């Protein structure tokens, strides 16, 4: 068997270190697909929170809940996304009582899976279709 030269040994060691670093990085932050799913779910939460603010503004202006998402779309002054960023399916909105409504979306993963803080605990969710009941708040 042929003995490796110093540069060859160094090359093998550097390659092994790079492969190990990539493996550790992927195990710490997750695969690119997992990161994309996490970001899509974060966007869904942002969209639902934005819709909740729009419903609150509608309720403040009209003293009633909109009957559907179409009612929110017609309101001036809102930059609200009404569709899922990945599937383009519309989010779900349903008035429940005079001042209570529900917002629903389909999530790819559980918000607690990555062990990262979820921000507003109200929006914590599991994987799949999740609904959040909200009470209106008057916008000053």
> What digits encode the pLDDT tens for the residues 94-128?
999 989 999 999 999 998 765 554 556 889 999 99
Q: pTM for this structure?
A: 0.74
Whether the predicted pLDDT of 26 surpasses 70: no
Coil, strand, or helix at residue 105? strand
Provide CB contacts within 8 A for 73, sequence distance 6+: 80, 82
Compute, in degrees rounded to 10, the torsion defined by CA atoms 117, 121, 126, 130. -140
Show the tokens assigned to 103.
């917002």
Q: From CA 63, how far away is CA 7, in angstroms rounded?
A: 77
Q: From CA 31, how far away is CA 113, in angstroms rounded?
A: 14
Helix (H) or strand (E) segment spanning residue 91: none
- The number of C-alpha atoms within 13 Å of 101 and in the hemisphere containing its C-beta is 25
Q: From CA 84, how far away is CA 90, in angstroms rounded?
A: 6
By C-alpha distance, which of 129, 114, 115 is closest to 31?
114
> What digits encode the pLDDT tens for the residues 67-93?
998 888 888 766 889 999 999 999 999
The proportion of the chain whose per-residue pLDDT surpasses 70, expressed as a percent, equals 87
């Amino acid at each position: 068997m042929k003995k490796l030269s110093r540069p060859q040994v160094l090359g093998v060691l550097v390659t092994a270190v790079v492969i190990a670093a990539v493996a550790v990085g992927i195990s710490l932050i997750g695969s690119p697909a997992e990161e994309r799913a996490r970001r899509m779910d974060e966007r869904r939460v942002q969209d639902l929170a934005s819709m909740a603010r729009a419903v609150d503004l509608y309720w403040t202006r009209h003293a009633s809940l909109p009957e559907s998402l179409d009612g929110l779309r017609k309101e001036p002054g809102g930059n609200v996304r009404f569709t899922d960023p990945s599937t383009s399916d519309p989010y779900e909105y349903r008035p429940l009582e005079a001042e209570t409504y529900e917002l629903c979306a389909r999530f790819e993963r559980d918000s607690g899976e990555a062990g990262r803080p979820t921000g507003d605990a109200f929006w914590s969710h599991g994987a799949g279709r999740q609904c959040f009941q909200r009470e209106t708040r008057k916008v000053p």
